[in-house]
Chain A
Amino acid sequence: MPTAPNQQAMAMLIRKLESIATLSDEERQAIKRLPVRINVLNTRQDIVRDGDKPSHCCLVLDGWVCRYKLLNEGKRQIFSFHIPGDIPDLQSLHIHTMDHSLATMTKATVAFIPHESMRELVARFPGIASIFWRDTLIDARIFREWMIGMGRRSAFERIAHLFGEMYLKLHAVALAGDYRCPMPVTQVDIADALGLTSVHVNRVLKEMRAQSLVTLRSNTLVIKAWDELLRVSEFGPTYLHLEKRAAG
């Protein structure tokens, strides 16, 4: 399928970039002219695999995606969850061989942007290059926060922290509000992301419900006590470096 500009797809990217930086009119127009190839994917489908050398970046338009790596005996570590507006394999522009895989967690629509077009864009617009750089720095900051979680936080704190993080990320791209957001992940996904077991995740979710902190039903997270959620997980929203923040 050939690539072509797609304003709707690029509106998603622009919204994401504007949640962490400011774009000029000219930069916005240039992004809108990026050629893309739209793909509709099933749930639990690999988008790019460990060892691949992709020639395009993947912009998430709808659904959730995760970065992961498979270990021996089928063990899986999820590194990050991605939502519409994210380009989880942006690094493939500069690091040519994938050192992990990228897969859908739900049915998803993605836009593939040729590397060549991305390179032309950042060469012509250094401001956009800076914003992409900023995005990867924030990405690294989120990894540091996850490292603190896996090294030093309890299961309860880790899960509470993840919920706070995903709510604010979704809110920044207008996909969450009123302390309610989609959370289309299984207990096994949460366990594989946070270094827990599905047994611990199930126990913690029950405890959170008993404390009227959050409920997670039918892939919807409802945060009933936002301030308390932030307090128990020592959550400081600054690390997400969002220009517009929902709360907290």
Chain B
Amino acid sequence: MSLRLQPVHVATGSQDTESQLVFADGLLVAVLVQLSEDHEDAAGMWFLEAGFGPVDDPAPPMFADLDKAQSWIEQRLARAA
């Protein structure tokens, strides 16, 4: 399975707009949003704004970078496969 990222801007109702749509085999599985300066210590991290299917999580995590986010998403998808 290969993930593909597509940059977008998301209206989160905050300064956090820089985002990436994450596709797995052509299907949208997650929306990652980069946290703005508003989040102080967490600024720059990537937040799982939305996850679909096995990527959905009631306690959505934050990731230090996009590679870590993608590894996590791949693990979730692999576990469900």
Contacts and interface: CB of A to CB of B under 8 A. Distances in A.
A162 to B, nearest CB: 18
A203 B47 contact: no
* Most-contacted residue by chain B among A195, A199, A202, A203 (CB, 10 A): A199
B34 to A, nearest CB: 11
B13 A199 contact: no
* Secondary structure type dominating chain B contacts: loop
Interface residues of A, number: 9
A34 B14 CA distance: 52
A199 B36 CA distance: 10
Contacts of B21: none
A198 B62 CA distance: 10
Interface residues of B, number: 13
A202 B43 CA distance: 12
A207 interface: yes
B13 A207 contact: yes
A4 B35 CA distance: 53
Nearest to A207: B13
A75 interface: yes
Interface in B11-44: 12-14, 16, 35, 38-39, 42
A203 B59 contact: no
A199 B59 contact: no
B51 to A, nearest CB: 12
Contact of A197 (B14, B38, B59): B59
A203 B60 contact: no
Contacts of A207: 13-14
Interface of A: 75, 195, 197-199, 202-203, 206-207
